[in-house]
Chains A and B, each alone.
Chain A
């Protein structure tokens, strides 16, 4: 196996912009959120938490310019003025692996879809780093749930995009693998603008430069610790933060 770095040279990539989504969204006339104003900082990790069905995935899909089944009335903008869609890498809530492709085929799907040269060495390295080196030629049907999620993770990490949208990318993983994958993602997506939807407060505390909670009542921010991510779980500030976040998620005053 070639020992190439998993992250491509950062210089090849345009500087990641800051993003902002503001406006109202409705499903068949019924409002999902209104007066929302979500900033996503350039080159940093923004975490979005909130109860199930509140609209987190919808927000990611709006950024990616995908069909949401409803109507959005507002603005999605990038700090550099260019379009957001077209330079995002998106990992959806389900793994969305192509059943006819093996792990390698799924991880390298992006390049083939764009007609680019397939960097198999880098793909192999990423597959190894998500712990699937022994499964490169397995079809998705022969993988466990967590393994499938890791293939999807490797696939999104293969994409060299300035903006990365992750919808609960570690939800199907055990605690230990999850921590490893968080480290890998944080490492690989250095300097990218990342919007992470997660249900795990510990995850948000560990990774988020900024942390937002979307509730039926609106968006609110929970101030992140001064420590730089990835934050050690045992640190005082992290622990404190986690308690505060839990409270906020329960609707109690922070």
Chain B
């Protein structure tokens, strides 16, 4: 059976299980022929899936809440990375030692979705409000804007990628892990599908294949990196290698499993932040395809 998967972005270590499943033939063994497409704009893939242009897309848990609230025919059907990767990143040798030091400083962010809400929660824990800082959308240049000192911190950087990137560039960075600083925890990367068009059986087989791949990766980290980086010459570099090993512990071991509490909690969090108007039942947002 043919399936189309839209990544959230260009191939990077976050996509390890998908790439490895493809390379090791796990999809084939599950009777699937998966076409993988990489876009540059992370907001496009869910829309394309909602529009029926692809079967699955990789997206983010915070986004699915907003998208469902706006009426997009989408549901989370699986999990790729089961913890936040997002972090509040500062220069290691900079003046920001704790979040409280941000008072009166600039914070950059990239996707203008939920970052502000996350910041509100983080600041609140440290006795600050949004009025104490200046938020700037720096879109395409998260780490450069910190490295060059144009902003004092950025939210939306990935702890597994941007930290390594900064170190390779010679400017060491440091992360405040947001789930430790006051935000609810959530799944960073999820698979979404259009509930009206999806074939749960195929998706279940797809998730099973990625589950096998994840196990392989955990068991054979070095070998799996060779498989992953062997797919394209541009993946064979220091950043990919370092990010790969930082990403390993983050992969969801049970991609199909659904934690209702996480989705309830985050839905409530967004409602409190004023980003959504009504609280929807989890079943409107996420499903366990194996349960059907």
Contact present between A and B (CB < 8 A): no
Which residues does A use to contact B, with CB under 8 Å?
Answer: none
